[in-house]
Structure 1
Amino acid sequence: MEWDSLIHRRIGDAGAQVIAEELKRNATLARLGLIESQIGDAGARAIAEALTVNTTLITLSLEKNPIGDAGTKAIAEALKVNLTLATLLLGENQIGDAGVQAIAETLKVSTTLTRLQLQKNQIGDAGAQAIAAALRVNTSLTELNLGLNQIGDVGAQAIAEALKVNKTLAWLDLGQNLIGDAGAKAIAEGLRENTTVTRLHLDRNRIGYDGAQAIDDARNATKALTYCSIDNQINPLAFSLLPRLATAKDLQTVFHWLVSGPELQDQPAALPALPVELAERIMDEACYWQGVQHTKRSHFHDGTTNGALTVTVPQGIAGNSVRVKAIQVLRDEKHWLDPPYSTNGKTFDLVVRDKGGVVRYECAANATFVDSNLNLVTIRPASHPFIRQLRKGWQVQVLPSKSFGISLIESLYLGAF
């Protein structure tokens, strides 16, 4: 059997385990697709176990599943002994840096894997650095897709250094990440010394003029690169305008203050220390006070609510409604047509629905900050009293832009500023 595909079958971990047992015995199947099948780590581990004994499978697609780091680590370990699999597609899962680091260790010893797709996961700079270290010694990989992740300049710089010594990679996708000018300049330097990369995707990052110019100069200087996509860059200012959400370290610091009773600057007395139980209650509640945010990097395809950016108002620990003090919407949009043929994209259409889906409020809010194609509006109760009426479980939606263009990034935030 050449190909077996179970797309959208939702077989889950139990179904994956059944298929894994068959893979151990099957001696003919060459390609297997288990796309959008609700396979998690348990199912991935079962597939991995089968890969340690299977000798015929050359292509495995596990895209659009909830596979995390644990399942990815199992697959990575299996590929250290598997000598036939050449194509591994793990796009649109839940793989983070830990899972990618395991794959990177496999790439250091694998001589059969030629295509690896990890787009639309949760890979950051640490994961990119691990992949870069593997690319320095790998001799088989020709295609690598790391698009739609969270790789910034640090990760891009590591990959750039690897390109200087790698002798096999021909197709590299780093589109829709967080790469700026520093990362782009490093990649440009790497391309000048690389002799194998023919296709490079860097679109929808946050590369400015200097970085784009460096890439263009490198493209003209190298004979290998025949295609380079660097279009639709996001305005770097967009990321600085997004509300800063507290990190785990921030929360630990505040918790320490609450339970230790720190001294006040220039004051003779210290703050009273709180019991741990009360401090924990405050910290849990603070996670909701901070706000909720939803950000999209892909453009919307239609003008229906199916493409709407949506945030649900959370509840407090005690079950009460969280008090929303402001709504912020940000959009960076590339227009295909100039006015008057295209709307300017500076108007945001908001819809508020209750738990039952009934529309409670609609409004069109005009941008309060504009920079090129970047538009931002902050809505407060003074101008839009409906904010005070928001209840837990209600949804705030921003409808897709009506302009002729694509939204490079769009963010909706409910919280306090």
Structure 2
Amino acid sequence: MGSGMNELDLVVRAKRVITTAGEVARAVGVRDGRIVALEPLDADLPAARVVDLTGDEALLPGLVDTHVHVNEPGRTEWEGFATATRAAAAGGITTLVDMPLNSVPPTVDTPSLEVKRKTAEGQCHIDVGFWGGAVPGNTAELRGLHDAGVFGFKCFLLHSGVDEFPPLDAAGVEAALRELGTFDGLLIVHAEDSDAIDHAPTAHGEHYHDFLASRPRGAENVAIAQVIELARWTGTRVHILHLSSSDALPLIASARRDGVRVTAETCPHYLSFCAEEIPDGATQFKCCPPIREAGNRELLWQGLAEGVIDCVVSDHSPCTVDLKRFDIGDFGVAWGGIASVQLGLPAIWTQARPRGHSLSDVVRWMAERPAELAGLRHKGRIALGYDADFCVFAPDEAFVVDTARLHHRNPVTPYAGRPLAGMVRSTWLRGTEITGDQPIGRLLERGAA
């Protein structure tokens, strides 16, 4: 290959490149933000910039996190586009899809989507897309949001935690699914049954087991079964968010065998922590559905290994420090949400490696499959024609989580003080290294991404 017009913008050489063909030594060539060459490590590839990774570094595709609550506008003191995307980039994530709540207004019609896009413009260090919301009374808005480029629609089956994003009942879910079926839309569901929660003990006090009793597995299992049946009747695509009950895995597997179009995700906190180890008053661990017992965690890992669970995403749902109520340590009144967007990759690698999983497995769960879920056709893989989004990862380096080194807005996370394996050394978006000095992310639309 000659110089001039044929010169590449960037070549990255690494002995460990995680590709769709597995882990291989490669020289990866980039032009105009896309991967245009995958050659042997010593191939002659003239480029304006050549980066040689060290022997302890692996080149991963940039991760794709399809479950992030950025909260801006309206609750920007909880988080915001600048801080969330900076934290994501520091964790090797190059694309996130923002949830339609807890921002004000929620993303439930095209004007609110436009407000969110205008707010995000010029603030994002990585690429950002948006989910829409399905709430009572907005069925007629769904097609317009779809045409405006949202990646799908989120609904709750019980109170969402914020009054401006109310839940759907069974009839509402069916109506939304029938509308989405007219344009092959995707419904993503917070699946906990409101009646089951209403009949459970009330969350109160500082003991985690009392909070756990207030969000029983049965509430998840019943809700997931209902969503599966509605998807079976309508033929519409559904996705189960943040699965925490391993009891539901056979339901999902059985439905898939029957041809129901259902997928599922789980989160690093369900795969890392267990209820037995959560201290009294440690409300940084509170999330809904909750972190369950150690035996449940191992079955989630099995479901992930068997492919019943498709992907692992953060459900980054931060808040201000005061809302976690560390002053009283009461799980009943503290905000429920885990802040972790920067830590997902090392958190999962720490747990995956001793269970016999490879970096290729982690990339499938955290890059390839989330991109496929959202329909991001040029993200999540190191392959020809894909965006040159990279994570340079040192899998053998360890560190202890220091909240002062995290970039999300409020220094609260259940990972604080926890030793983790694997360090993100650098993150690249379309062939440009993300430094945090200048936001270089784009706002993505479904179908164009």
Note whether the superposition's TM-score is higher than 0.5: no
Q: Which has the higher contact order (CA 8 A, sep 6+)?
A: 2
Q: TM-score, normalised by structure 2?
A: 0.30
Q: TM-score, normalised by structure 1?
A: 0.32
Larger Rg: 1
